[in-house]
Amino acid sequence: MDLTFNIGGMAGQGIDTIGGLLAKVFVKTGFYTFTVKDFESRIRGGYNFTQIRVSDAPVHCPVDDIDLIVALSKDAITGKRDQLVDDGVIIYDDRFDFEPDEECYFPAPLSKTAKEVGGSTRMTNAAALGALLSVIRFPFDLARQVLTDIFTRKGERVVEDNVRVAQALYDYTAERFSGRCRHNLSMLKGGPSTDRLLLTGNEAVAFGAMAANVKWVASYPMSPSTSAFIEVVSHARDLKIATLQPEDEIAALCMSIGASYGGVRSMVTTSGGGFSLMVEALGLAAMTETPVVIYNAQRPGPSTGLPTRTEQSDLLFSAFASQGEFPRIVLAPKDILDAFHTTVRGFNLADQFQVPVIILGDQYLADSAANIAPLDVTSVEIDRGKLARPADGDEYMRYRLTDDGISPRAFPGDEGVFVVSSGNTHLEDGHITEDPKIRNAMVEKFMKKAPAIREALKPPLLTGRADSKMCLVTWGSTWGAVSEAAEKLNKSGLSISHLHFTDLYPLRTGLLNEFFAKAERVVSVEQNATSQFASLVTMETGLRFDHHINKYDGRPMTPHWVMQMVEEVIA
């Protein structure tokens, strides 16, 4: 089974609430879900939607075809009509002045029933859920059990009111709906007992940071990163994490560098505009060799751009931000589960190599939700890197020259050491110098880290054969859509391989050379206009891609869109 629901309406109407309820109903009955959100940069009004894909197998991206639409505004009644499948259904609130001219439309008294049965139009979400579940003949006894579990924490009265409203619309729809729907779940008995987590990408990043023992997080709110910060804040008291919303992004990174200098793991969350303000402080972290993690949830720019849309356009900026030359690490999770593990790795890598680590998410990853297996935090390993344990009588030097370029780190207040750091070029003991020989030695010290960093990064994920007719190369959150597209194209008789990168910079080039040598066509697929990862590959290796597939309208890729683009390349 694979079906997609679309809940459309204006901002402030509870679209997200209905989507969340629907996803939880299916997760708790043993299905896999994937939710995406499309919303305008406004508090009220506009046309927004939440789209939930439900399947009996794991799914990692949205699709274009929609089976059922719930319209809570007039715009939503027709907004996605062109994507409705044959035998699809559009349920809309009958308070709208709309004369349906197709069988697919079904008017229902959503807000009216919420008011009359539940006592408040705020329960329109429960009414919509009842109507939708009735159309697909989802057993209401099963739905009642799930709704009770969901609303229990809000009290018995809330449970009763919501279940009653949902039941009323379920029965109303069962009596009056005479259209067709290709899905019939009347025989559903409920899936196996499951403890899968329903998480967004931002929640996964936050949980990864907490599992990695972060103790300081500073953030100036900026979509689409803000909910990652809020998630950490919600657990800060229990986990003894210091959190602060400072006056701006400059202060956020400077404070986090200070916290890390003092000995704790620290992080900032932001988007591209905020990261732009952090660039000078990024150089301070590099010069002082202070580890820090920066989570950049990308959105389309420049300037304010599209604040609530998605793009992969900050890669080259992240790889080369700040003046001077110094090592840094850039990572980009491929999906929600990977966001957890990549964040944990980011903290370990920052400590091991005493460099800034930039984690590139995007609005699509940040706001999407999927159910994943429980996170095993007991398996998380914490690596703080080289920590100084000076013997009595040894003089501690923060920037001691070493064979691998990594100096043992001590913290202010450690017994028997005196820690000196500077944003200027410095001696081994941390004091400022302009000596040209020392300058050379310290630059070379930075660069000695690069080979070990490259070896510590994960190689790309390969699906398919190196000698395929076409190799699709991707990075970050496009993995789900491109992976599914490649699988479908191969089933249709084409020969497609897929090479996906999570660890982006410095670049591991091994498999690239093999694929460029063997595949007939190597194609980059990126959510930007200028093929930034392809440019990075060419810069690092001299290899050139045969074709580029680019999407930069602010909306996420789908398998169908990728397949169309691949077919155009073939043609």
CA-closest candidate to residue 5, choices 39, 55, 45, 43: 55
Coil, strand, or helix at residue 414?
Answer: coil
Q: What distance in Å separates the CA atoms of residue 367 and residue 16, rounded to the nearest whole number?
A: 11
Distances (CA, A) of 100 to 49, 91, 104, 120, 362: 21, 11, 9, 27, 38
Q: What distance in Å separates the CA atoms of residue 540 and residue 183, rounded to the nearest whole number?
A: 50
For residue 62, cis peptide bond before it (omega within 30 degrees of 0): no
With tokens 């910079």, the residue in question is: 505
- pLDDT, position 514: 84
Centroid of chain to Cα 550: 19
Q: Are 37 and 58 in contact (CB under 8 A)?
A: no
What DSSP assignment string belongs to 9-70?
EEETS-HHHHHHHHHHHHHTTT-EEEEEEE--S-SSEEEEEEEEEEESS---S--S-EEEEE
Token pair listed for 280: 């000078």
Run means of pLDDT, 10 residues per run, the chain, 571 residues: 92 82 87 92 83 94 96 92 94 90 91 91 89 93 82 84 93 90 79 74 98 98 96 97 97 98 97 97 97 98 95 98 96 97 98 98 97 90 90 80 95 90 95 97 95 95 89 97 96 95 93 86 97 97 96 97 96 87
- pLDDT, position 102: 86
CA-closest candidate to residue 312, choices 58, 61, 524: 524
Coil, strand, or helix at residue 132?
Answer: helix
- pLDDT, position 1: 86
Domains of the chain, first to last: 2-194 (3.40.920.10), 198-379 (3.40.50.970), 461-570 (3.40.50.920)
Q: Return the number of other C-beta atoms located less than 10 Å from residue 141's C-beta.
A: 7
Distances (CA, A) of 161 to 12, 230, 552: 21, 30, 44
Centroid of chain to Cα 166: 32
